[in-house]
Amino acid sequence: MGPDILVPIAGMATGLLLLLPVVRAVVRITEKKLVGGSDSGQLEALREELAAVQDRLDRFEYSDDRIADLEERLDFAERMLAQQHRHKIEGGHGS
């Protein structure tokens, strides 16, 4: 997996993080309307849906951390390969 794939994934995870307050606000507004004298079954369904969204967001946050770790490892591996390549070139010219 190269950086061409990691950057869009990190962007999507960040976008989801930014959308969480919007989802919470919509649920709060909907709860206020429902508590005003409507169906409590709908309210419970919305709470369950919000919990599912929160769970998915938590998994994306974990994925975002893993992506950052993988990016660091990829950078390290690239530096090591470049260093080995330099040593081979320098060693070839010195002989």
Residue 38 DSSP class:
S
pTM of the model: 0.41
The CA–CA distances, whole Å, from 66 to 49, 55, 57, 71, 73 equal 26, 17, 14, 9, 10
The CA–CA distances, whole Å, from 37 to 16, 17, 50 equal 32, 32, 21
User: What average pLDDT does this structure show over 61-90?
Assistant: 89
Distance of CA 38 to the CA centre of its chain: 36
User: What average pLDDT does this structure show over 11-27?
Assistant: 82
Q: What is the pLDDT of residue 82?
A: 93
> Is the per-residue pLDDT at 95 higher than 50?
no
Sketch the domain layout of the chain as residue ranges.
3-94
Q: How far apart are CA 25 and CA 3, in angstroms?
A: 34
